[in-house]
Amino acid sequence: MCGIVGYIGNKSLDSVLLVGLKKLEYRGYDSAGIAILNNDEISIRKSKGKIISLEEKLDAKGFDGHAGIGHTRWATHGEPSTKNAHPHTNSTGSIAVVHNGIIENYVELKNMLSEKGYVFVSETDTETIPHLIDSEIQSGKDVKQAFYDAIQKLEGKFAIAMICEIEPDRIYFARNGAPLIAAFGKKSASESFLASDLPAIIPLAKEVTYLKDGDWGYIQAGTLEIYQGEKKYENIKIEPILIKEEEVNKGDYAHFMLKEIYEQPDIMQKIIDQRIDSNNRIFFNEMLFQNDYLSKIGRVIIQACGTSLNAGLIGKLYLENFCKLTTDADFSSEFRYRNPVIGGDTLVVGISQSGETADTLAGIHEAKAKFLKVLSFVNNNNSSIARESNAVIDLMAGPEIGVASTKAYTSEVLSLFLFSIYMSAIRWVLPKEEKKQLLDEIKSLPSQIASILKNLEPIQEISNYLKDVSSALFLGRTYNYASALEGALKLKEISYIHASGYAGGEFKHGPIALISEEVPSIVIVPQGEIRKKTISNLLEVRARKGKIISIITKGDDEVKDISDFFVEIPELSEPLSPLLTAIPMQLIAYFTAVYRGCDVDKPRNLAKSVTVE
Ligand code: M6R
């Protein structure tokens, strides 16, 4: 949700910032801008739309310097436009600021500043910041003190970077509730970076420090100072950057989403190899909870958003069925505000790919305010959610750039499955034989996913049909009810076709009214206990002339015969089947969006990491 990048050093500034912004475009892409300092003077270029439109404005010669900041925006206050694009400046243009987050008291600040004569040119909350810093400087403070005093007056969430003509060799920054990192290039390069996320500065940056909430300070070429309040950090933890360039590039794939779909066999293998040993013992070495605590948990509440919640709904069934643990799964945004009755023996589980989702983070704060312990499943161990949880499980999916979550989803489901088996051993619930059977089965998952990925023909045929529909329904039961929700979410978010997921049994209680020749149903019918019941749902659709696309276990001729289209998946027991049924649905969404000419990696109105509530 907005991306920030800052650079101070000898490299061509517009290209470092531009490359950085392109890598951050997944965080928001409705407008973009860059401010640079050259000969103690700030110049700015901004543009509405994606970074490519900004790039066209940078061709003019002379737009370079030694320090600069850039921003890619996901609009909160004020429509996407050049006027509202960041960086924002004070009236003389001597201070430029980029900001990710929301300044909640901006109306009060704006009124106060307007009374002092400050004139606002945009509709953003951000514009208050350069004016506020300016007013502090006008009152006689130096830039450092003015910056600090200004950020003390801001309420809300922010990551901020600021350049100022009076101190041209520094880029000031502050972090409070929105991600920000500071980094350095090769020792010889004498350069420093700021960014919302690592991909923006790979491969140039070699070492990183992850800023914490309340941190502020400045970078200079090759160095930095960080403060927490008025206290300067004496020892700053600086770590090597381990992510490789190929992990944050598309390679030969047309889109990040497709690359990430195809990474799934390897990621599943990695998780299996690291979590399960040859004696079928499961390990979560990074997770700090002791068995004694885990054995006494009386209830679990999973709270997450979007795709992560869909994974959580499957996790709920795992914990209930394998551990006999009462488990709820809730939208973070509802959990946070509905003031649930929760006993002290409840474990709150957060699930988040980014680790920065504001709703999920707020849910964690709510849990902690109730003195509950929090376990989070995250794909970024340095994220806010990871830091604020009592214990963390690493999803090990690697950077996910496509806005539509794919590999993080299957990593979440697999990690939740393994965690529930781990818990069941501590709580002595699952019979040994059943555990062995499930773990033996899961070892074939990577090759089974790979086999689905090799057979694109039926999937592309379905997508070719779907590209012309305006509405689609997804049906599934028990473990695959969440798969239906996830399939619908994938299709609607990247192809803009209206899609809803329903529990198969619930379908006849209302949604069936939607069925017509123009509204197809994608029905998930793996083998298992609920297959027969799901076939009944399928027949209900058929009887009303609805088109049927089924996802079936290989060789299920009965369902093939009553389907207009079908995709076969290998056989896997029902609880594990969502890990396979997800793959054709991801691909169907992908190809449908491509055939409709949609921007798959950057769907309209969305951002990868939703850092506002
Ligand atoms: O980073 P998180 O897992 O917390 O993100 C949660 C949702 O915003 C995310 O899953 C969203 O629904 C995706 N666009 C779905 O593909």
Give the model confidence (pLDDT) of 301-334 as tens digits. 999 999 999 999 999 999 999 999 999 999 999 9
pLDDT at 62: 63
Does the pLDDT value for residue 28 go beyond 90?
no
Query: How many C-beta atoms surround the C-beta of residue 391 within 10 A?
Result: 19
Q: How far is CA 501 from CA 66, 191, 273, in A?
A: 52, 50, 33
| 584-607 average pLDDT score | 94
Domain(s) labelled CATH 3.40.50.10490 in the chain stretch across 250-443, 453-605
Q: Which CATH superfamily is domain 250-443 in?
A: Glucose-6-phosphate isomerase like protein; domain 1 (3.40.50.10490)
**Which residues are bridge partners to 550 per DSSP?**
523, 566
Report which DSSP code applies to 196: S
Q: Which residue among 2, 305, 323, 598 is the active-site one?
A: 2
196: which 2 tokens? 């919302």
Higher pLDDT, 593 or 55: 593
Does the pLDDT value for residue 509 go beyond 80?
yes
Looking up tokens 């940056």 gives: 205
Does the pLDDT value for residue 63 go beyond 80?
no
Domain(s) labelled CATH 3.60.20.10 in the chain stretch across 3-247
pLDDT at 315: 98
**Given the CA of residue 404, which atom of ligand 1 is nearest to it?**
16
Is the C-beta atom of 404 inside 6 A of ligand 1?
Answer: yes
Does the pLDDT value for residue 188 go beyond 90?
no
Residue 564 pLDDT level (bands cut at 50, 70, 90): very high
Residue 82 pLDDT level (bands cut at 50, 70, 90): confident
Q: For residues 559 and 554, give the distance between their C-alpha atoms in angstroms, rounded to a whole number.
A: 10
Closest Cα to residue 430, out of 419, 421, 440, 417?
A: 421
pTM of this prediction exceeds 0.85: yes
Is the C-beta atom of 354 inside 6 A of ligand 1?
Answer: yes
Asked if 542 contacts 516 with a C-beta cutoff of 8 angstroms, the reply is: no
Question: For residue 344, how many C-alpha atoms fall within 13 Å in the half-sphere facing its CB?
Answer: 1
User: What is the distance in A from the centroid of ligand 1 to the CA of 305?
Assistant: 6
Q: For residues 362 and 35, give the distance between their C-alpha atoms in angstroms, rounded to a whole number.
A: 33
- In CATH, the number for domain 453-605 is 3.40.50.10490
Q: How far is CA 88 from CA 25, 117, 343, in A?
A: 19, 17, 47
Q: How far is CA 388 from CA 90, 384, 412, 416, 546, in A?
A: 35, 6, 19, 20, 48
- The string of DSSP codes covering 340-404 is ----TTEEEEEEESSS--HHHHHHHHHHHHTT-EEEEEES-TTSHHHHHSSEEEE-------SSS
pLDDT tens-place string over residues 459-485? 999 999 999 999 999 999 999 999 999
Residue 59 pLDDT level (bands cut at 50, 70, 90): low
Of 57-71, 128-142, 181-195, where does mean pLDDT reach its minimum?
57-71
Would you call 305 a catalytic residue per the annotation? no
Closest Cα to residue 33, out of 20, 18, 46, 49?
A: 46
Q: Which amino acid is at 446?
A: P
144: which 2 tokens? 């450092």
User: What is the distance in A from the centroid of ligand 1 to the CA of 518?
Assistant: 29
pLDDT at 60: 61
Is the C-beta atom of 379 inside 6 A of ligand 1?
Answer: no
Does the pLDDT value for residue 75 go beyond 80?
no
pLDDT at 74: 82
**Given the CA of residue 408, which atom of ligand 1 is nearest to it?**
3
Residue 61 pLDDT level (bands cut at 50, 70, 90): low
pLDDT at 267: 98
Does the pLDDT value for residue 69 go beyond 90?
yes
Does the pLDDT value for residue 612 go beyond 80?
no
Asked if 398 contacts 247 with a C-beta cutoff of 8 angstroms, the reply is: yes
Average pLDDT, the chain: 93
pLDDT tens-place string over residues 357-367? 999 999 999 99
Looking up tokens 């592309």 gives: 460
- In CATH, the number for domain 3-247 is 3.60.20.10
Element (H, E) at 97: strand 95-103
Query: How many C-beta atoms surround the C-beta of residue 207 within 10 A?
Result: 15
Closest Cα to residue 14, out of 73, 56, 75, 74?
A: 56
